[in-house]
Amino acid sequence: MELGNCIIAQSGGPTAAINATLAGVYTAASQKKGMGHIYGGLNGIEGILQEKFVDLRQVLCSEERVRLLETTPSSFLGSCRYKLGQSGHLEEEMARLFSVFADHNIRYFFYIGGNDSMDTILQLEKYQQAHGGNVAFIGVPKTIDNDLMCIDHTPGFGSAAKYIATTVQEIALDTAVYDMDSIVVVEVMGRNAGWLALSAGLARGPFGKPAADLIYLPEFPFSEEQLVADIQKVRSEKRQVVVVISEGIQNAHGERIAEAKTKDSFGHGQLGGAAKQVEAIIKARIGGKVRAVELNVPQRAAGHCLSATDIVESVQIGEAAVDAAWNGESGVMVTTERAKEGSYRLMIGTTDIIHIANQEKIVPESYVNQEKNHLSPAGLAYLAPLIQGEISAPVEAGLPRYAYLSEWQ
């Protein structure tokens, strides 16, 4: 345990729970005697390089503000998709960061993010081990993709899953009103891991039957022939078909059916448009009324459809991050393990970042049915607890009231 200041930053795509985690980190840090300034780093590691800080003790100066932050979606401190070294000057950037840490007496760095953010924690820890330093680098998990290793599920995923299942259920209701044949293709996020699409299997229709008839994930090859056969099988029992796909579905050759050639700083191609591609396939092979729906960004930060389980756990994970740093840990990410017996319960710990960074947790085969086109009982048992409970932001003038940094500075 080192006395000094701390900095908290957020990175990557926003979620409905990332600010709940921020609230947990801040609350726990503010209760540690001897911990001085609690800085918020604006726009992730990119902002820290530029010394763009706010004093969170002044910003989050009341219990009311902290509670409001817990139910505010998106990234309160802003975000970035900046990869250290992308400018070609990694050593200079690292030296700059450690100079910033020293100038501000920062002893604790909490980075709330997903895969790319955990790579940043790994790089910082490796540099410190090679060059010396006294900063506790703690990765705090966040991603709706649920693809981080060594954790039962990631904060933000439960609320996104709840939103997707709710939306698919509503789409199925909309589709069913007309006495006609129709097919709706719903595209959700998921580059390599199909957790979000799988969560559509939670949606229920009449008599408790699945509202989504077919679900296709990037983990298993997508085949036009199977799609056509699957739809025809569903149509033998009902006239309206709801198909859910991950944006990253790919054929047997590993080629995604919709990916731009341009890459971001982490080498990821822009995805989107898979539903339109599938819509075209269905129109050509089957015909009839077909509609493509791309849920796009609303699924990331739907503050009106929060999972209480997700928000409560996100706060707890933030608090655990502070305890880990205070106890002398560094180069780790806060992780969870589900109790194997009894009712749903999580145990929180930490795991060395080397086992997490630059790796990806995909949907296991046991979580899908034999045909690879829907949720299995094991998948249902895994997902169902994560969307339980309702929690809402305060309402003002008929709309949710959220926390805005610009109003509190």
Q: Which of 116, 119, 145, 213 is catalytic?
A: 145
Return the DSSP state at 330. -
* Alpha carbon distance 115, 337 (integer Å): 19
DSSP notation for 12-23: SS--SSHHHHHH
* Alpha carbon distance 184, 182 (integer Å): 7
Cβ(220)–Cβ(362) under 8 Å? Answer: no
DSSP notation for 202-252: G-B-GGG-BS-SEEE-TTS---HHHHHHHHHHHHTT-SEEEEEEETT-B-T
Phi, psi for 404 (deg, rounded to 5): -125, 120
* Residue 119 is among the residues annotated as catalytic for this protein: no
Residues pairing with 183 in the sheet: 241, 290
Q: Is 165 helix (H, G, I), strand (E, B) or coil?
A: helix
The most distant pair of C-alpha atoms in the chain lies apart, rounded to whole Å, by 70
Q: Is 67 helix (H, G, I), strand (E, B) or coil?
A: helix
Strand (E) positions, 96-209?
106-113, 136-141, 182-188
Cβ(355)–Cβ(150) under 8 Å? Answer: yes
* Alpha carbon distance 390, 388 (integer Å): 7
Q: Is 398 helix (H, G, I), strand (E, B) or coil?
A: coil
Neighbours of 382 (CB within 10 A): 20
Token pair of 22 as six digits: 């921020």
- Let me know the angle formed at the C-alpha of 39 by 124 and 49, rounded to the nearest 5 degrees: 45
Q: For the range 349-355, what are the long-range contacts, defined as Cβ-Cβ under 8 Å and sequence gap of 24 or more?
A: 349/320, 350/320, 350/324, 351/150, 351/151, 353/118, 353/121, 353/122, 353/125, 353/137, 353/139, 354/122, 355/149, 355/150
* Alpha carbon distance 200, 379 (integer Å): 11
Task: Point out the residues that are catalytic.
Answer: 145
